[in-house]
Amino acid sequence: MKSHFTRWLPAIAKTSNRRTALTLAGVVALGGLALAPAAYPGPLTGGPHPDAVAAIDLATGKNRAPESTDAVTPTETVRADAAEPDEPSQKPDVDRLVPHGVQGAQSRITLDDAQLANARAIVETAKETGVGERGAVIGVATALQESKLYNLGHLGAVNDHDSQGLFQQRPSTGWGSPEQITDPEYASTAFFEALKDVRGWQEAPLTVAAQTVQVSAYPFAYAQWEEQAAEVVQRVW
């Protein structure tokens, strides 16, 4: 995962009509996929990462004022997302999306059109792969932690190993080619197929399910996004 952004020399590389991969030169990358699972001893107690949000804003030309990088309320997030109306559909119940309650302090960011489009791709792939609403929440929360729901390209010398894409998957560990893992549909499918191999993932805490797939150096971090991930899934389902 790339959890902190301390310098910003952004550029956006258009890679195809299906997706955009962001390249942030000068980004300090921490964590990412390791080679073996790690235990999960307890919930996360940390907060959001405003400097990461600010870096992405510069990369996309938003130039949001510094104060708006703070965590926002659920009402504010929905208002920011309101530019994309949803088609009428049966919205999943929150109790099904978060069956065990959230763990630890929750983080929140305001999502732009690119992030919402990537969230929709994850949710649609969750439907197609059969992991359903709960799987969609795990997928969106994982991508919020790994990439803040941006389809990140290679970050050059400071890249975390060879991690790329929404889920910061690594070609060298068998996730696919760089072209494949920066395709949101492919990356989401790979994540969900791996999730289905996790015994009991439906009943496991979100951060345990995500960590078993991702094998991150920061195994507790996924928990902080469960509340917002559930709201996003309920919105775009």
Instruction: Please report, for the chain, the start and end positions of each structural domain, with discontinuous segments joined by +.
Output: 9-35+43-69+107-236
Q: Is the pTM of this model over 0.75?
A: no
Helix (H) or strand (E) holding 12: strand 9-14
Q: What is the DSSP letter of 225?
A: G
Axis crossing angle, helix 206-214 with helix 132-147, rounded to the nearest 10: 60
Q: In tens digits, what is the pLDDT along the chain, a chain of 237 residues?
A: 444 332 222 333 323 434 545 544 333 333 344 333 333 333 333 333 444 444 445 444 454 444 333 443 343 343 344 444 445 558 898 888 999 899 999 999 999 999 999 999 999 999 999 999 999 999 999 999 999 999 999 877 767 789 999 999 999 999 999 999 999 999 999 999 999 999 999 999 999 999 999 999 899 999 999 999 999 999 999
- The C-alpha atoms of residue 86 and residue 79 are separated, in whole angstroms, by 13
What CA–CA distances, in Å, run from 17 to 14, 20, 183, 187? 8, 8, 11, 16
